[in-house]
Structure 1
Amino acid sequence: MLNLSVLLEDSARKYPTKDAFIYGDTHLTYAQVNGAANQFANGLKATGIKPGDKVALSCLNVPYFPIAFYGILKAGGVVVPLSVLLKREEVVYHLADSDAKAYCCFLGAPGLPMLEEGFAAFGEVDGCEDFVVITAKTSDPSPIEGTSTMGALMEGQVVTTDTAATGADDTAVIVYTSGTTGRPKGAELSHSNLFLNAILSADLTGATTQDVTLTVLPMFHIFALTLQLNASLYRGMTNVLLARFDAEDVFGLMERHRVTIFAGVPTMYWGLLNYKGEQFDLKAIAANLKSCLSGGASLPVTVINEFKARFGIDILEGYGMSEGSPVVTFNQADVGRKAGSIGTPVWGVSVKVVDEAGREVPVGEKGEIVYKGHNVMKGYYNKPDATAESIVDGWLHSGDVGRMDEDGFFYVVDRTKDMIIRGGLNVYPREVEDVMLRHEAVSMVAVIGVPDEEYGEEIRACVVLKEGHDPAADDLISWTKERIAAYKYPRSVEFLAALPQSATGKILKKELRKG
C-alpha cells in the first residue's frame, strides 16, 4: 500500500506546530493542514466519492489547493488538476475526457473568471455529478445557488480519517499535457511515480526542515506540484505561496520570510533580472538563497550568467515533462553542473539520445531524448494507441531534440514540433535565440517558422527590446547573420512589447505563429 498523502501525514506527526504554508498573513501548521485535508476527505466520502473516482481541481496557489489535493487522495480519489486559465469549452473537454465525477473550483480573481467558466462547463458534462465551490473563507456561502462549498463539506467532519489503502501503482493524479500538438492528453501518474520523484527532488536541492521555499509556479502544473508542494511536505519545509508572479512581490516575500529555495521558469528569472525597484536588500536576499531551480523551458545561458553576477548563485537547470512525474535529468551538486545543460539523469532513471529508428546516436550528435525508470507514467488515460506510440519497450519518447556530451551531460536543442525546415535544412530555434540574446538590445526573443513559397518555411524572430534601445530590424538581422550559418539567421524581425505566455510562464509560440 502507498498513498501519496503520507507526505503530509508523516510531517504532521513529526512537526505538528511548524508552519506548513504561509499565504499573506495566514500561517497554517502541518497539523492544521492535515486536519483540514482529513475533514475534506470525509466530506467527499459523504457525497459518494469512492476510491478510483476522478475529482477535478481548479485552484490558485492558496492553502485550499493542498487541502483539497491531499483530501482527494486521502479519500482514494484521483486528482485531475486543471489550469486556472482554461475557458468553458476546454474545461468541458477535460472533465469529460478524465471521467471526472466531481469538480472543485476556486472563486477566481479579478480578470480570471474561473468560477463562471467552470460552472458553465460542469453543466455540460453529464457524468460529472458534484460541483464544489472553493470560497475565499470556508464560512462563506456559495455564490451559485444549489451548489455546495468546500467549507460546507468540511463542516461537522472530524479531523481524522481512514486514509484509503491505495496501491503504489494505482493512479494518483492525471496531469494534462499542454496540447501544443492536438488535444491535451491525460498522463496517469501513480502514487509511486510521484512519491519517488518528490524524494529525489528534495535531495536535488539539499532541502532540510529548516528551509523555506517560495511557490509562485502554479501548483496545478507538475513542476510545482512535485518539486515544491510534494517535496516541501516530504522534508517538512515551510512553503510560502504566491498566486501570481510579480517580481516586486517575489522579492518582498523572499526578504520577509528569508526564502532559501526558489523555483521558476525562464520568464520568471528574466522578470527578476529586469526589476528596477530599489526598496529591497538584494544582498540579504541573495545571502539567504541556497538553491534556485529552473525548468519548464530551456534557460538561456545569458540569463544564467547575469543572475549569477547579480545574486551570486547558480541557477540549476533540469529537464522533465508531465509524463515523467516530471524530473528526468538535473544539474546535481554531487555529479557536477554545466551552464546550458539540463544535467545528468536523476536517481533510478536512464536517458539516451536516439535516431528515428530508435538506435542510440554517437556522443555529440542530435536525436530524440528518450528515458525509462520509476518516473515514467502509466500511460495516457483511455488512449492506448497514444500510449503505445509514446512508450516503446519501456522507453518514453519525449519529442525533444537533444544531445549528450562526452561527460554524460544532456542538452535540449529544441522541441521536434518547433524545428524549422528551411529549404530542406533543419533549423533549431533555440540555437538562433541563444545568438540573438547576446545582442545588447535584445531582452527576450522567440524564433518561429512561417510559411514560405520558395523555402517551405522562413525564419522570423519575435523580439522584445531592452529599455532605451531601438535598433532597426535590418541591423539586428545583419548582426545575427554575422554570427550564425547563412541558412539559420532570421529573414524578418517583429518587435513586440511582450511575448505571449502560458499560465506556467512558457512562451506560446503557437500564438506567435497565428499572428
Structure 2
Amino acid sequence: MYNLATNLERNAEFRGHDTALIFNDESLNYRTLNTLVNRVANHLVALGIQPDDKVAISCPNTPAFVIGYYAIQKVGAVTVPLNIMLKGPEVAYHLADSDAVALISFEGNCTLPSGEFCYEGFSETPSCQHFITIESGANSPLPADAHRFNQWLETDQDHFDAVYRHAEDTCVILYTSGTTGRAKGAELSQSNMLCNAQACQALTNQKGTDVSIAILPLFHTFGQSLIMNTSILAGSALVLIPRFVPKNVMQQMQKHKVTHLAGVPTMFIGLLAFAEKHGAEYIDDIAANLKVAISGGASMPVEILKQFETKLNVPVIEGYGLSESSPVAAFNHLEYERKPGSIGQPLPGVTMKVVDDKGREVPRGKEGELLIRGHNVMKGYYKKPEETAVTVVDGWLHTGDIVRMDEDGYVFVVDRLKEVIIRGGFNIYPRDIEETFMTHPDVHMVAVIGIPHKTYGEEAKAFVLLKDGAQTTAKELVTWGKARLADYKYPRLIDIVTDLPMTATGKILKRLLK
C-alpha cells in the first residue's frame, strides 16, 4: 500500500501515546491525531469525495492543516495545498485549474482574511462544489453553504482505513511556475512523496524521540515534505508555528527541546539577528538539544551559515529541490564533508548531470543546466502534456538552473535560466504580476524582474509603460497591485518608464533592466 496516511496509522497503533503535534503549548498524541483525521475522512466521504478527486486546502500551520491534509489522503483523494496569502481571483484560478471539487479553508481574521478570499474564489468556480471552513474564533459571518470543519472534529466517527493507492497514483498537486508561464500544478505520486520523506528522514537522522519545528509553511513543498511528512513518518513530535516571529520560535525551541530545525535563509538571518541582541537566555538550552539545522529554498550566505553554526553549535546542511522533484533532490550529508555554498550531492536513488545548451554533458567544473532523474521526478504538470514534455525529457527533469559540479560531485548553483523570483523562500512568477497589471486601464506594457534584497534575498520590481495621456503614479500602482496580488507577491518597487528595451521581434530584454 502506498497511501501516505498509513505512516500516521502505523504510529497511532504502535506509539499512540507519543506526542505528534504541539501547538500553542497544547499537544496531540498520535492516537488522537489519527482519530481526528478519521472523523474528517468520514465526512469527506459523506460529501461524495472519491479516490482521485482533488481537494484543496488553505490553512496556516495549525493542527487543522495536518488533519485536513491526511484526511484527504486517507480517502484516496489528491491534496491541493494553497498559499494562504492568495487573493480571490488567484484562488479561483487554482481551484479551476486543479479541478478541485472541495476547498477546506481557514476562516482567518481581520489581519489574515484568507477565508474571505477563499470563499470569493470558491464562488467564482462552479466546478468546486463544497466549501469547508476551519473556524478560527474570529466569529465572522460564515457562508450559509459552508460545512464546519470544527464540528466534524467533534463527531464520533472514529474509524477509517486508508484507501489503497498504487505507487503511481497522484498524491498531491503542488503549484509552481515550472520554467515559464502561469503557475502550473506539479503532479506528484504516492511513490514520489513517500520516497522523499524516507530520504529526508535518513538525511537528517530523524527518530521517533526527536522534536522538529515547522516554521516554514506546510502548504509549501519544502515544509510539507521535509518537515511534516518526515515527522509523521519518523513518529517524532512536530511543533507548529503559524507565523514566523524569531522570539516565539526561540521560546518554543527552548521549551520543547527541539532537535530539528528547517527554514529558508531569511529565517536563519532573522533568528541569528534576534539571538545576537536578545537570545542569551535561550541559546544554551537550544544548543544543548538542537542536532541539525536544514536550509533550502534559496542559497544561504556563507557568512550567515558559519555564524549560525558557531552561535548554536549545530551543523547547518544546505540542500536543493523543486516542487517538480518532490522537492528534495540534493543535500550536504551529515556524515560527509559539508561544503559551504554548495547544495551538496544527489540523494540516494537520484542522478544529476550538467549539460550545455545542446544537451551534452559538460566536464566537471564547467557550468551548464542541471538535469535530475530519479524516484523524485514528478509525473508531470497537471493537464499540461506539452509543457511536461519540455520539462521532463527521457526521464530527465530540466531544472532551468545553471550549476557547476566539482570533482567530488558537489553541486554549486550559479544562476537561474528561468525568471522566477525567490522572495523569502516564496516563488514569485513575473508573468502573474505582468498579466495582473496589464488589466489596469492606464498600463500599456509592463516588465517584472527580481532585484537583490538584503533581507528577502530578492524583491519584485516592475517597469511600467503607461498609455498616452495616463497620469497614474507609481505609488498608486503599488496600492492597486497590493489589492489584487498576494502580500508576498505584489511589487513594492515600480518605475514608470517612457520605453522598454526590446528585440526586433518585440520581446522585452529584461536583462537590460537589471
TM-score category (smaller protein)? 0.7 to 0.9
Check 1:225–1:251 CA distance in 2 against 1; reply closer, same or farther (3 A cut). Answer: same
SS at match of 2:158: coil
1:306 equivalent to 2:307? Answer yes
Partner of 1:164: 163
Alpha-carbon distance in structure 2 between the residues aligned to 1:226 and 1:93 = 24
Check 1:278–1:408 CA distance in 2 against 1; reply closer, same or farther (3 A cut). Answer: closer
Partner of 2:360: 359
- The CA deviation at 1:12 is 1.0
SS at match of 2:278: coil
SS at match of 2:187: strand
Partner of 2:348: 347
Q: Quick check: 2:178–2:324 contact (8 Å CA) kept in 1?
A: no
Partner of 1:231: 230
SS at match of 1:350: strand
Deviations 1:45-86 (A, max 9, x none): 001001110000000000011110010111111000000010
1:148 equivalent to 2:127? Answer no
Q: Quick check: 1:104–1:132 contact (8 Å CA) kept in 2?
A: yes
SS at match of 2:20: strand
Alignment of 1:274-423 (within 5 A): 274-275=273-274, 276-278=277-279, 280-418=281-419
* Letter paired with 1:68: G
Alpha-carbon distance in structure 2 between the residues aligned to 1:69 and 1:115 = 17
Check 1:44–1:157 CA distance in 2 against 1; reply closer, same or farther (3 A cut). Answer: farther
Partner of 2:269: 270
Partner of 1:255: 254
* Letter paired with 1:284: D
Check 1:510–1:415 CA distance in 2 against 1; reply closer, same or farther (3 A cut). Answer: farther
Deviations 1:108-144 (A, max 9, x none): 2442110100001101101000000011379x89722
SS at match of 2:418: helix
Alpha-carbon distance in structure 2 between the residues aligned to 1:377 and 1:461 = 30
Alpha-carbon distance in structure 2 between the residues aligned to 1:179 and 1:355 = 19
Partner of 1:498: none
Q: Quick check: 1:43–1:154 contact (8 Å CA) kept in 2?
A: no
- The CA deviation at 1:417 is 2.9
Alpha-carbon distance in structure 1 between the residues aligned to 2:452 and 2:347 = 34
Deviations 1:295-334 (A, max 9, x none): 0111111111111222222210000010001110000123
Alpha-carbon distance in structure 2 between the residues aligned to 1:163 and 1:242 = 28
- The CA deviation at 1:107 is 1.1
Alpha-carbon distance in structure 1 between the residues aligned to 2:325 and 2:371 = 11
Partner of 1:422: none
Partner of 1:115: 115
Check 1:207–1:130 CA distance in 2 against 1; reply closer, same or farther (3 A cut). Answer: same
Alpha-carbon distance in structure 2 between the residues aligned to 1:168 and 1:462 = 42
SS at match of 1:347: coil
Check 1:110–1:247 CA distance in 2 against 1; reply closer, same or farther (3 A cut). Answer: farther
TM-score calculated relative to the size of structure 1: 0.81
Report the count of equivalent residues: 444
Alpha-carbon distance in structure 1 between the residues aligned to 2:396 and 2:492 = 31
CA RMSD of aligned residues (A): 2.9
SS at match of 1:329: strand
Alpha-carbon distance in structure 2 between the residues aligned to 1:34 and 1:224 = 20
Alpha-carbon distance in structure 2 between the residues aligned to 1:305 and 1:163 = 44
Partner of 2:54: 54
Q: Quick check: 1:58–1:106 contact (8 Å CA) kept in 2?
A: yes
Alpha-carbon distance in structure 2 between the residues aligned to 1:78 and 1:464 = 35
Q: Quick check: 1:252–1:280 contact (8 Å CA) kept in 2?
A: no
- The CA deviation at 1:146 is 2.6
Alpha-carbon distance in structure 2 between the residues aligned to 1:398 and 1:254 = 35
Q: Quick check: 2:344–2:411 contact (8 Å CA) kept in 1?
A: yes
Check 1:279–1:35 CA distance in 2 against 1; reply closer, same or farther (3 A cut). Answer: same
Check 1:266–1:459 CA distance in 2 against 1; reply closer, same or farther (3 A cut). Answer: closer
Which deviates more from structure 2 when the two are superposed, residues 159-168 or residues 396-405? 159-168
Q: Quick check: 1:44–1:153 contact (8 Å CA) kept in 2?
A: no
Q: Quick check: 1:215–1:228 contact (8 Å CA) kept in 2?
A: yes
Alpha-carbon distance in structure 1 between the residues aligned to 2:449 and 2:252 = 44
Q: Quick check: 1:43–1:157 contact (8 Å CA) kept in 2?
A: no
Alpha-carbon distance in structure 1 between the residues aligned to 2:125 and 2:454 = 42
* Letter paired with 1:208: K
Alpha-carbon distance in structure 2 between the residues aligned to 1:104 and 1:461 = 36
Partner of 1:424: none
- The CA deviation at 1:463 is 4.8
1:38 equivalent to 2:26? Answer no
Alpha-carbon distance in structure 2 between the residues aligned to 1:193 and 1:157 = 33
Alignment of 1:424-463 (within 5 A): 462-463=453-454
Give the gaps of 5 or more residues in structure 1: 420-428, 431-447, 449-456, 466-505
